[in-house]
């Protein structure tokens, strides 16, 4: 298994005025000079994308959006398209976050259209998958994830798959303070990689970046990143403060170096 430099993405959700977003991005960019072994991605709300982009201009920290619509343009009030995200300077876009699946009725078929639309515009998808607590309790975790992977990646060719980051986010761990244990997360990550290998082959599956998300904090990031199949994190709450986000990144880098 290729040990990859940690990929650490901060999902700011519906937080931050433009001024707050600029301040947070500035603090992270400043600290990132000492964190060169990690790939850092920030996902501010749409309203702050352009201004945060200016802050990121000269550094290596990358920009992500939190959602998109699959059409390129048209009468879709309130929606934002992949070409618009590209124009705003986004390298990545989060797709299929459990909050969107839960509150906005997103289905695997819709997620799949969004993945295709992002790829077509040269924006890399961060595809989120994960089971609910009830599904875990019913022992359905692996089936749910297999279905989400199959549905979300339907028709995506091997060449495009290389541009996709997968984020495993157990719904019961998001914003709840309950983190999956490193063992629980590793078990699922290894299943995801096996599933990807069936569709795309062992080599591409080994190269795929698979993130864990769900109450990641400075205190648990070293142990999680130390697992063989965990390549980084999608961080919600703890990404809203520079100190905790940077500390998570430092711990992930420490684990990466020890894994080598």
Q: State the residues that interact with ligand PEP by CB under 6 A.
A: 11, 169, 174-175, 213-216, 234-238
Tell me whether residue 44 or residue 214 sits nearer to ligand PEP (CB atom). Answer: 214
> What φ, ψ does residue 179 adopt, rounded to 5°?
-95, 145
Smallest separation, CB 236 to ligand PEP (Å)? 2
Closest CA to 190 of 205, 200, 203, 174: 205
CB 12 within 8 A of CB 32: no
Residues in the chain: 260
Residue 9: partners with Cβ closer than 8 Å, 6 or more residues away: 40, 41, 42, 43, 64, 92, 94, 126, 165, 167, 211, 232, 233, 234, 235, 239
Tell me whether residue 116 or residue 179 sits nearer to ligand PEP (CB atom). Answer: 179
Smallest separation, CB 178 to ligand PEP (Å)? 9
Tokens (6 digits) for 187:
């078990």
Tell me whether residue 117 or residue 234 sits nearer to ligand PEP (CB atom). Answer: 234
Tell me whether residue 8 or residue 149 sits nearer to ligand PEP (CB atom). Answer: 8
Tell me whether residue 175 or residue 201 sits nearer to ligand PEP (CB atom). Answer: 175
Pick left, alpha or beta for residue 13 (phi over 0 → left; psi -120 to 50 → alpha; otherwise beta).
Answer: left
Max Cα–Cα distance, the chain, nearest Å = 52
Smallest separation, CB 167 to ligand PEP (Å)? 7
Smallest separation, CB 139 to ligand PEP (Å)? 23
Which positions are annotated as active-site residues?
A: 97, 169
Smallest separation, CB 98 to ligand PEP (Å)? 8
Tell me whether residue 47 or residue 102 sits nearer to ligand PEP (CB atom). Answer: 102
Closest CA to 167 of 119, 224, 120: 224
> What φ, ψ does residue 202 adopt, rounded to 5°?
-65, -45
- Measured CA to CA, the distance from residue 159 to residue 245 in angstroms comes to 32
Smallest separation, CB 63 to ligand PEP (Å)? 16
- Measured CA to CA, the distance from residue 27 to residue 41 in angstroms comes to 14
Tokens (6 digits) for 185:
């997360």
Nearest residue relative to ligand PEP (C-beta): 236
């Amino acid at each position: 298994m290729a040990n990859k430099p940690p990929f650490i993405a901060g999902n700011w959700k519906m937080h931050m005025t433009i001024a707050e977003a600029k301040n947070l991005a500035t603090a992270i960019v400043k600290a990132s000079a000492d964190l060169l072994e990690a790939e850092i991605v920030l996902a501010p709300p749409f309203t702050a994308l352009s201004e945060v982009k200016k802050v990121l201009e000269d550094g290596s920290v990358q920009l992500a959006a939190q959602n998109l619509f699959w059409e390129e343009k048209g009468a879709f009030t309130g929606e934002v398209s992949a070409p618009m995200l590209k124009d705003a300077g986004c390298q990545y876009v989060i797709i299929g976050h459990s909050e969107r699946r839960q509150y906005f009725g997103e289905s695997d078929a819709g997620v799949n259209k969004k993945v295709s639309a992002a790829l077509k515009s040269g924006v890399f998808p961060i595809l989120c998958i994960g089971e609910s607590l009830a599904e875990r309790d019913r022992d359905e975790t692996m089936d749910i994830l297999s279905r989400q992977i199959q549905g979300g990646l339907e028709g995506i060719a091997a060449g495009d798959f290389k541009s996709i980051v997968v984020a495993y986010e157990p719904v019961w761990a998001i914003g709840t303070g309950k983190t999956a244990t490193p063992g629980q997360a590793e078990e699922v990550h290894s299943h995801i990689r096996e599933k990807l290998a069936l569709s795309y082959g062992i080599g591409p599956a080994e190269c795929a970046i698979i993130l864990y998300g769900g109450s990641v904090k400075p205190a648990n990031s070293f142990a999680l990143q130390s697992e063989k199949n965990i390549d980084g994190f999608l961080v919600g709450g703890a990404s809203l403060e520079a100190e905790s986000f940077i500390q998570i990144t430092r711990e992930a880098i420490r684990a990466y170096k020890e894994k080598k």
